[in-house]
Chains A and B, each alone.
Chain A
Amino acid sequence: MKATVLVRPKTGILDPQGQAVGSSLRQLGFAVEEARVGRVIDLELAAGTPDEARAEVEQMCERLLANPLIESFEIDLEGRA
């Protein structure tokens, strides 16, 4: 089973990388009000039920993939949002 994890800087957390990207896009003439930069982690999981897989990926996020002080995460399980 495939899972995709999206890790984002939490709302309200200063994101200098996003700011730099946003200002570059504006310099290129795009009307961008804000850009935030996060991280995508694609996982190939040993087979299991979708519920088991989701519970396991949540554990992965809490223990390693995201730092809850500054990041939020979202799990996408083979297209099941």
Chain B
Amino acid sequence: MSRIRPKVGVLVFPGSNDDRDAAWALTALGAEPAVVWHADEELPALDAVVLPGGFSYGDYLRAGAIARFAPAMRAVARFAADGGLVLGICNGFQILCEAGLLPGVLRPNASLSFVCRDVRLRVEQADTPFTHRCELGQSLGIPVKHGDGCWFAPPELLAELEDAGQIVLRYAAGENPNGSVSDVAAVVNEERNVLGLMPHPEHAVDPLLGSGDGALLLASLVDSARERTLAAA
């Protein structure tokens, strides 16, 4: 049964630049990627959706603020509301926050500098569709590359998210590359079917390229998408 290749949509906006890496990684991990153009009003039949990294619409106004109004994002919002799995990586995370599908907002890095380096992450929640292949507390090495990765939520919202177990990944102590509150690197929604993260798992799926830890996250998504396909069949 594990040979079923779940179909995972990869959205492409003007300015996306990690769409092909995401599609390559998903293929390597057993999924069948399907490119979805930002102007498409409807999604094809999909088991999951990935919003890839990049600089949609040049990050004008605020990162993700314009992409959230793309026709395909309305379709993604409906997909998510029906329980569909949605993963936002970097710019995808920014878009999901601006669209209100995830809590908080991504602001310019506290250093005001673009950061591009490997960081250590700690798995804070291993019972999500995006992290079930990880151990709670596991340390992952995955690269970041962003100028607007400083996730922010007001204290009362942050406390709610902590209590509800919605903070899924944190930067390891002393490794926060952007000044995000409480070292947050990944957040999941209340229903646990939409997750956003700043690090790039699609750039860490082969030890030859420095780390295979990103494969744990993406393979978790592929497993979850496959389970949903089988459950629906």
Binding site for B on A (CB under 8 A): 13-14, 16-17, 20, 64-65, 67, 69-70
Contact = CB atoms under 8 A, between A and B. Distances in A.
B111 A16 contact: yes
A59 B13 CA distance: 25
Interface string B121-162: 000000000000000000000000000000011100000000
Contact of A69 (B61, B105, B110, B111): B105
Contacts of A17: 108, 112
Contacts of B109: 16
B105 A20 contact: no
Contacts of B105: 67, 69-70
Chain B contact residues: helix, strand, loop or mixed: loop
Given A64-B61, A64-B65, A69 B154 contact: yes
Interface residues of B, number: 18
B112 A69 contact: no
Interface of B: 61-62, 65-66, 69, 98, 104-105, 107-112, 152-154, 179
Nearest to B64: A67
A14 B153 contact: no
A16 B153 contact: no
A5 B153 CA distance: 24
Given A14-B110, A16-B111, A17-B112, A69 B65 contact: no
A13 B4 CA distance: 48
Contacts of B98: 67
A17 B179 CA distance: 14
B68 to A, nearest CB: 9
A64 B66 CA distance: 8
A16 B107 CA distance: 10
B62 A69 contact: no
A20 B112 contact: yes
A65 B105 CA distance: 14
A70 B179 CA distance: 15
A25 to B, nearest CB: 16
Given A64-B61, A64-B65, A69 B108 contact: no
Contact of B65 (A13, A16, A20, A67): A67
